[in-house]
Chain A
Amino acid sequence: MFKFASMLMTPAAKYLMLAFAVLFPLVAANEYQVYVMATAFVWAIAVYGLNIITGFCGQLNLAHGGFFAIGAYTLGLLTADFGWSFWPAFVAALVTTAVLGFLVGIVSLRLKEHYFAIFTLCVGFIIYLLIDKWEELTHGAIGVRDIAAPYGFGVVDFTDTTPFYYLVLAFLVFAIWFMGRLSKSLLGRTFLAIRNGDELAQSLGINLMRNKVLAFVLSTTYAGLAGALYAGMVRFIGPDEANIQHTFDMITYLLVGGIGTIMGPLLGTIGIVWITQSLQFLEEYRMIIFGPLLVLLVIFFPRGITGSFLTWMHRKSQALVPGKKREESKVNTVQPREAESNA
């Protein structure tokens, strides 16, 4: 069992997962399944963004869904109303979410902990209201139609589901690759130090504001990337994309998968999207199954699937190699003391 478990975390396992993702459209029962998987990948990218600011940096950002919508609307409006083609609009969507992320970040990150969460909750709602009510720009409740699909430079046609699936997969792989590199780097460690506590981080010479804003901008850019891909995929968006519900869905994916881990956002998102899909026939009653499932997960895997798994693995490996030695030496130092007290 242990051998099997350690195999799961090797680079080989990651290539295996990648191979599965690449082959998935070939083995999928129908196009709809490919579409669902592509949707799950899009959400996973957004959840990776949330993981940077909330998982690594410890700041619960409840405006994340709002930035997803800003990415989607930037792409949607530029292509549908202003006649831009997809890729320039795509870049503009990333820049817009990054710039707005910076502006929101420098204001909201002055607040700490739950004040920050409440403030960003309001920001998220304001984004929703702007999209819903600013009809001259956003068409309000009617939404945006005729969004351009990405053009494939004459090589591929991204209006088909499968090519689009691969496009999303490519961005997802990049998102995970960057997350992996970030987490191991000094910059990622800086974010983690902030999560451990503002005061401690400052005493280590870390500039809180600069690093928090950087993490925030990275996270909103991820959200914008996911939103833009989403708009290019569904080609029709409405104010509901900014619904706060999406933010809480993403937090659920993150918690289930494992907050602050590399593979957690992916596993959590894909797992829940597919469970939700397979319970679709139950309609509203699916929550009867889904609810208890979540409760069990929180009880038995408080750190999410990936987090709990990694902890378990580490304990195993420590018990096998140097930790054991330590256990023995510990026993040796304890025993004489016990003998004394017995005497």
Chain B
Amino acid sequence: MLKVEHLTKMFGGLAAVNDVSVEFETGKINAIIGPNGAGKSTFFNLISGMHEPTSGRILLGGVDVTKLPSDKVARLGVGRTFQTTNLFEQATVLDNLIVGHRLRTRSGLWDVLINSKRLQREEKSARDKAMEALEFVGLTHVAGQFIADITQEERKRVAFALALATDPKIVLLDEPAAGINPEETVGFAALMRKMVDEKGLTVCLIEHKMDMIMSLADKIMVLDHGEKIAEGTPEEVRNNPVVIEAYLGGDEDAAA
């Protein structure tokens, strides 16, 4: 699904991501872990086209997307969520989600002026898509609420729904479980599993909550100082001495 070859990103003299090669398989949950400042978010920004890599290649389903801007990458099927999602607070949940399907529509200014058939058709499909995504994340009951009036956990689910409304093939989730309680975290793990099982999506997430990662991920990549130091199943990563040294072994101060 997603293949990354020798990816490097330099910020000035600092290698935020250094020669990382990895492959994420279709229909798997892939986790990226690592201490703060390890380059995890930069790695996501490179894949999604937000930053252009200094060197290396990114292949999405065999297509080279290395130099594509993020809106084009999104159209090729990469959906993503951010650590914080800025939504339109004084608009309803549903209204916020409708734009998610915009990238699959073509209506322009002229369609708006004459209220064309195409515009009507596309607006309906965007609305249906938003409702479908809302149903998938289990939020149909707040469809008519203002974003300002829903809970933190519901906001995170809305962000998921927004990414899903783009019809992605792969979703990049940046700390989906940050700032929510353990009970809700279990709910989010179930939701990610559902994305894979029911929609056949490839999930890729950055997360710090180890309990969740270890039970959820099919494969884990560990980054430290921009370099990939380990890769494998949760079991393999857990027992990898390098990882324990850098991250799990409580030697975090040294790593940071």
A residues with CB within 8 A of B? 178, 181-182, 185-190, 192-193, 195-197, 199-200, 202-208, 214, 218, 303, 307, 310-311, 314-315, 318, 322-323, 325-326
Partner of A178, one of B80, B87, B90, B113: B113
Closest Cβ–Cβ distance, residue B16 to chain A (whole Å): 17
* Interfacial chain B residues near A214, Cβ < 8 Å: 109
Closest Cβ–Cβ distance, residue B48 to chain A (whole Å): 6
* Interfacial chain A residues near B75, Cβ < 8 Å: 205
* Interfacial chain A residues near B82, Cβ < 8 Å: 199-200, 203
- The answer to whether the Cβ of B146 comes within 8 Å of any Cβ in the partner chain is yes
* Contact (Cβ within 8 A) A186 B90: no
Bound-state CA distance A202–B49 (Å) is 9
B137-158 interface bits toward A, Cβ cutoff 8 Å, 1 = contact, 0 = none: 0000110111001000000000
* Chain A: CB-nearest residue to B97: A189
B77-103 interface bits toward A, Cβ cutoff 8 Å, 1 = contact, 0 = none: 001101001111011100100111011
A186-B119, A187-B111, A204-B162 known; 18 new pairs, CB 8 Å cut-off, are A181-B113, A187-B107, A187-B112, A188-B112, A189-B98, A196-B87, A200-B82, A202-B74, A204-B74, A204-B100, A204-B103, A204-B166, A205-B71, A205-B166, A208-B71, A318-B146, A323-B144, A323-B145
Closest Cβ–Cβ distance, residue A262 to chain B (whole Å): 13
* Contact (Cβ within 8 A) B86 A318: no
- The answer to whether the Cβ of B50 comes within 8 Å of any Cβ in the partner chain is yes
* Interfacial chain B residues near A187, Cβ < 8 Å: 107-109, 111-112
Bound-state CA distance A340–B165 (Å) is 39
* Interfacial chain A residues near B79, Cβ < 8 Å: 203
* Interfacial chain A residues near B74, Cβ < 8 Å: 202-205
Closest Cβ–Cβ distance, residue B164 to chain A (whole Å): 11
B residues with CB within 8 A of A? 48-50, 69-72, 74-75, 79-80, 82, 85-88, 90-92, 95, 98-100, 102-103, 105, 107-109, 111-113, 115, 119, 122-123, 126, 141-142, 144-146, 149, 162-163, 166
Tell which of A190, A192, A202, A303 has the most Cβ of chain B within 10 Å: A202
Q: What are 18 A-B residue pairs whose CB atoms fall within 8 Å in the complex?
A: A181-B115, A185-B112, A185-B119, A186-B105, A186-B119, A187-B109, A190-B102, A195-B88, A200-B82, A203-B48, A203-B80, A205-B166, A206-B99, A206-B103, A315-B146, A322-B141, A326-B141, A326-B142
Closest Cβ–Cβ distance, residue B215 to chain A (whole Å): 24
* Contact (Cβ within 8 A) B85 A200: yes
* Contact (Cβ within 8 A) A204 B102: yes
* Contact (Cβ within 8 A) B144 A322: yes
* Interfacial chain A residues near B70, Cβ < 8 Å: 199, 202-203
* Chain A: CB-nearest residue to B148: A311
* Chain B: CB-nearest residue to A208: B71
Bound-state CA distance A203–B90 (Å) is 22
* Chain A: CB-nearest residue to B90: A311
Closest Cβ–Cβ distance, residue B170 to chain A (whole Å): 13
* Interfacial chain B residues near A208, Cβ < 8 Å: 71
Bound-state CA distance A328–B50 (Å) is 43
* Contact (Cβ within 8 A) A192 B90: no
* Interfacial chain A residues near B103, Cβ < 8 Å: 204-206
* Contact (Cβ within 8 A) B90 A303: yes
* Interfacial chain B residues near A315, Cβ < 8 Å: 146, 149
* Chain B: CB-nearest residue to A182: B112
Bound-state CA distance A187–B114 (Å) is 13
Bound-state CA distance A189–B102 (Å) is 9
* Interfacial chain B residues near A178, Cβ < 8 Å: 112-113
Bound-state CA distance A190–B105 (Å) is 11
